[in-house]
Amino acid sequence: MNDTNVTWHEHQVSRFEREAMKGHKGCVIWFTGLSGSGKSTVANTLDHKLHRAGLHSAVLDGDNVRHALNAGPGMLRETHGESFAERFGLGFSAIDREENIRRIGAVAQLFSQAGIIALTAFISPYRQDRDRVRRTMDAGEFIEVLVDTPIEICETRDPKGLYKKARAGEIKGFTGIDDPYEAPLAPELRLDASEKAPEILADEVIGYLVDRGIIPSIA
């Protein structure tokens, strides 16, 4: 299909109307940090707190997205003699990571436009990829949260044994070992996950959302 045949369709129900019905604004909270930093734990803790308060949120987690939207080789069924993964799946090269983040950003933005608080938990190691997602959104819609945990602590956690494999040379291009992690220069929030419990960190994010008028004050 030629791209000239694809046109943008405006929705009959506006974003403002959706947000008014839900009682809060939609946004994208983009958790970034090293593997084992605590991104997913904080995102899910925050999701639970928001849900308990009657607010609408959804978590997009790195591993889950890799198993579906961006599945790599071996994760999806064969289709017409060629695996779906071979046609559309993504690996972990720099260009695949870029496309992975682009797709996630597009999905998160759809959630946000529907008045949902989208919580994304991905390493997203490259600054330009995160900044590119930010530029697709309205001012204040993209909230970058650095889950700042030293690599030494991430390695002691290592729930999947990935650091150990990377140190042994069994995994190549692993972020923080033989591939860079570019921390945000000016994130909206920086969370010290080496010292504080996930519940405290989630409350820090909630405080930010309340202060910016994105959500009402919650107990």
Pick the catalytic residue: 83, 93, 124, 217?
124
For residue 154, count CB atoms less than 10 angstroms from its CB and return exposed for 0-12, middle for 13-18, buried for 19 or more. Answer: buried
Find the angle CA(67)-CA(163)-CA(167) to the nearest 5 degrees. 130
Q: Is 124 a catalytic residue?
A: yes
Q: Are 137 and 109 in contact (CB under 8 A)?
A: yes
User: How long a stretch of residues is the chain?
Assistant: 219
Q: Which of 105, 140, 134 is nearest to 214 (CA)?
A: 140
Helix (H, G, I), strand (E, B) or coil at 59: strand
Distance separating alpha carbons of residues 108 and 110, to the nearest angstrom: 5
Can you spell out the DSSP letters for 84-145?
A: HHHHH---SSHHHHHHHHHHHHHHHHHHHHTT-EEEEE-----HHHHHHHHHTS-TTTEEEE
Catalytically active residues, by annotation: 124
